Structure 1
Amino acid sequence: MYGKNLSLEYGIRDLPETTLLNDFLLDCSVRNFSPRTIQSYKSNLKYFLSRHSVQINPDDLKNFLIHIRDKKHYSPSTVGNYFAALSSFYDWLEWEGVIEKNIVPQFRKRYLRYYKEQRHEERQLINLEQMRALIDSAEWVGFKSMFIFFAKTGIRRQELIDLDLKDLYLENRYAILKPHAKRSNRVVFFDNECAQVLEAWLSWRQENKIRNKALFLGTHGSRINRDTVYDVTTEHAQSLGFHNPAGRLNEKFTPHCFRHFFTTWLRRSGCPRSIIQELRGDARKEAIDIYDHITQAELKESYIKYIPLLNIKI
C-alpha cells in the first residue's frame, strides 16, 4: 500500500495519521478481525494518536503508560488492551514499510509483565449449588434463560449477544453460533433442563408478542448488549455474596466466569480434554489432533454424559 519507497520519499510525518489509521483498520477487516476488536483498536489508537505522533520512541510509550495507568487509573486489562492495539498497529506500519521497526513488543515485555500476570490471575469458580442459586435468583425468565445458556454452553459474551432465534434448534438441543475468529467449532449443545428454561422464555416472548430476531433481549425488548449482560450478571452474583466489585479477579463473578464454570465442571466430571476443547471451540494445535476427528454425534453424546445437572426451578 505504501511501501518503503513511499515512506522514504515523503517521510513518515507527511503521511496523514487518519489515513494510516483507516488503512490499518481496513487491513484488520481483511484479516477477519471481529467488529468489536476493530472498534476497540480504533478507539484506543485514536486516543493515543491524539497525544503522540506516529513516529514514537520508548519515552513516548513510557509517558503514555504512566498517563493511562497513574493519571487515568485504567485497569490492568484496559492498559493491556491499549498496548495490544499499539503493537498490532505498529506491526502493520512495519509491514508496510512506513517504519523500520515495531518497538512496542519489547516495551510490553519489559514494562507490562506485571499486568500480564494480573490478567492471568485465577478467576473465581463457583460450585454447582452457587450456580443453581444464581440462575434461580433471576426472577425474569429472559435473564434466567441467559444465565443457564451461559452455564450449559460456556460461550463467550459476544457469542451469546449475536445469537438470533433462527440459530436455536430447540428440539435437537443445539445452537449454531455466528462465525468468530477465536472459535473453531460453532455448534454448541444444551441439555433438557436448559431446553425447558428456553421453552419458557420463547413462550413468554410469544405471549408478549416480541418480534425481535435476537434470541436474548434486554428489558426494553431490543437485543441485549455487553453492558447489560455484565451488569445483570454481576448484580445477581453480588446479591448472593460471590461478586465483590472492588475485589481481586478471583473475588468477582463476571460473564466470563460462566465459561470457567463450564470448563472446570466438565473436567471434574471426567470429560476428556479433547472433547472439552471441541465444546469450547478451541483450536487444537498438537500434531496428533489433526488425526483425531470428533464427530458431532460423539461430541453431543459426551456432552450429555458429562454436563452437570443443576436442578433449576422452572
Structure 2
Amino acid sequence: MSEARSGAGDVDDPIAYFVQDVGYHGKTERTQEAYERVLREFEAFLADGTTRSSSGVTVREATHRDCMEWIHAKRGELADSTIATYASYLHRFYGYMTQVDAFDSNPMTIVVEQMDESIDTDPARRELSVAEMRSFVADIRHPLDRAVIVTLLKTGMRAGELCNLDVRDLYLSDEPGGARQSIRPSVSGRPDSLYVSAEPRQGVEVNGERRTESNKRKRDTVIPVDDELSRVLVRWLAVRPDAVSDAEPLFVGTRDGWGQRLSIDAVHRIVTDHAADQGWYRTGGGAAENVTPHYFRHFFTTHLRSETGDRGIVKYLRGDVAEDVIDTYTHDWGDRVRETYESNVYALLS
C-alpha cells in the first residue's frame, strides 16, 4: 500500500478517498464502482440510525456492533457469498483507512474473525470424501494438470496465487538438476516448502514481470510441501517447458500459450475439464454443485480444520491471519506448522 497522503486523518469523505486510492493501486473502474456502491450503502445505513445510536453515525464513528448490525440486515436479502463479499469490502476499507492513519481502528476485524468461523462450511456444497478425491487425482495423467490440481488441493491456495508462483518460490530437496536459478531467502533454509507472497497485484511488476493476476493473501506464507506434492512437482519440473518470462513462472502453458505463465482462466479450465469428466461440473451449475479451483480451497480448509482442531494454523496456511498470529507461526514454523500439517493433511496419491 502507498504512504498516507498529507491530511489523511482529516479527509471530508473517507469513502471517496479510499476509492481514489484503490484506483491508484491499479484496480479497474468496475472494481472501484463496486467498492463505492457497497460503501455508500453502508454509509446510508449508518446515517439512518442504528440500534446503538438512533440519530445515526458516520463511517468514522462506526463500531463493530454497527458493522455486525448492517451485515445481519443483509441476511435473507442477499446470498451468503454476496454478504461475504460486502464484508470483505468493508474490512479492506477500514483496514486501509487505519493504515493511512485516517481512522483509529478497524471495527471489522472482530466481525471478520466471527465470520471466518463459518468460512467454507456451507452444507449445500457438494460433499466429497478423501477417497473420492484420491480417485479423481489418480485419473489425471498430464504432468501440468496433475501438478496444478495437487498443488491446489495440498495447499488450499487460490488460483491467482498459484498463477503468480515463480520457480524461486519453491525449494525441493529432490529437485531435478538445472531447474533452479535462485531461491527466495524466505525458503532457502526450509527445504520442501513453498512461498506464497502477498505482493503480486494486477498491473504491478514483481520479479521483473508485470502481473495479470492479484494475490488476495493478507500476509506472506511459507507452506510445507509433503512427499506427495514434492513427487508431483519434481515430475512437472522435469518436463516443464522453458518459460517465456525471465521471472521463471512455476506453472506455464503446455498447450495454448506454450511457455507462458498460466492465467486464472487456464487453471479454471484445467480443473473444470477434469471435474466434468467425473460428473462434478456442469455449465450453468452453481457453487453447490460444481467443483472449481475454489472448491479445492474449501475442501482443504474443511479437512484441516476438522483434523487439526487448530484454527490458527489453518488460517496461517490460508493466509487469512493478522500479523501477530503470522509472527507466532513464523517463529515456530518448523516445529509446529510443518509437523501439524504433515500429520494431518490427506493422502492423495496411491
Report TM bin, short chain: 0.5 to 0.7
Matched, 1:27 2:21: yes
Q: Hey, which of these two has a bigger chunk of helix by percent? A: 1
Q: Does 1:116 align with 2:153?
A: no
Indicate which of 289, 296, 308 corresponds to 2:333.
296
Given that 2:243 and 2:260 are in contact with CA atoms closer than 8 Å, whether structure 1 keeps it comes out as no
Q: Taking structure 1 as reference, are residues 263 and 201 closer, same or farther at Cα in structure 2, changes over 3 Å only? A: same
Unaligned runs of 5+ in 2: 1-5, 44-57, 60-66, 85-121, 174-190, 199-214
Describe the SS at the equivalent of 1:43.
Answer: helix
Q: CA deviation at 1:306?
A: 0.7
Equivalent of 2:196 in 177, 197, 218: 177
Counterpart-to-counterpart distance in 2, 1:193 and 1:114: 44
Aligned to 2:226: 191
Question: Equivalents in 2 of 1:155, 1:26: separation in Å?
Answer: 29
CA distance in structure 2 between the aligned counterparts of 1:238 and 1:291, rounded to whole angstroms: 41
Q: Match for residue 307 of structure 2?
A: 269
Match of 1:86 among 22, 34, 37: 37
The 8 Å contact of residues 134 and 348 in structure 2, kept in 1 or not, is answered as yes
Question: What's 1:137 paired with?
Answer: 139
**For the structure 1 residues 109 and 304, does the alpha-carbon distance in structure 2 shift closer, same or farther, using more than 3 Å as the test?**
closer
Aligned residue pairs, count: 244
Deviation at 1:194, TM superposition (A): 0.6
SS of the residue corresponding to residue 114 of structure 1 reads: coil
1:269/1:308 contact within 8 Å kept: no
Q: Are the counterparts in 2 of residues 167 and 177 from structure 1 also a CA contact under 8 Å?
A: yes
2:347 to 297, 309, 313: 309
| Contact kept? 2:163, 2:262, Cα under 8 Å | yes
Please report how far the alpha carbon of residue 248 of structure 1 lies from its aligned counterpart in structure 2 after TM superposition: 3.4
Any idea what SS the aligned residue of 1:138 has?
coil
Alpha-carbon shift at residue 109 of structure 1 (Å): 8.0
Distance 2:344 2:291 in 1: 23
1:1-314 alignment, distance < 5 Å: 26-28=20-22, 35=26, 38-39=27-28, 42-43=29-30, 82=34, 84-88=35-39, 114-117=77-80, 119=82, 122=123, 123-171=125-173, 172-179=191-198, 180=215, 182-205=217-240, 208-210=241-243, 212=245, 213-218=248-253, 219=255, 220=257, 221-283=259-321, 295-297=332-334, 298-312=336-350
Q: Sort the Cα spacing of 1:235 and 1:295 in 2 relative to 1 into closer, same or farther, 3 A.
A: same
Deviations 1:261-314, CA, capped at 9 Å, x for gaps: 1111213324422221222222259x9x699656111111111111111125xx
Q: 1:53 is matched with which residue?
A: none
Higher radius of gyration, 1 or 2: 1
- Pair 284,246 (structure 1): closer, same or farther in 2 beyond 3 Å: same
CA positional deviation for 1:133 = 2.9
Aligned partner of residue 194 in structure 2, secondary structure: strand
Q: How far off its partner does 1:215 sit?
A: 0.8
TM-score normalised to structure 2 length:
0.58
TM-score by length of 1: 0.64
Separation of aligned partners in 1, 2:32 and 2:312: 38
CA contact (8 A) 2:243 2:261 kept: no
CA contact (8 A) 1:149 1:190 kept: no
Equivalent residue letter for 1:239: D
Gap runs ≥5 in structure 1: 8-19, 47-81, 93-100
Q: Distance in 1 between matches of 2:328 and 2:261?
A: 38
Q: Return the offset for 1:260.
A: 0.8
> Which fold has the larger relative contact order, with Cα–Cα distance below 8 Å and residues 6 or more apart in sequence?
1
Contact 1:132 1:310 in 2 (8 A): yes
Q: Take 2:75 and 2:292, find their aligned partners in 1: how far apart are those partners?
A: 24
- 1:20-42 C-alpha deviation (Å, 9 max, x unpaired): 99x86651266xx6x5xx13xx1
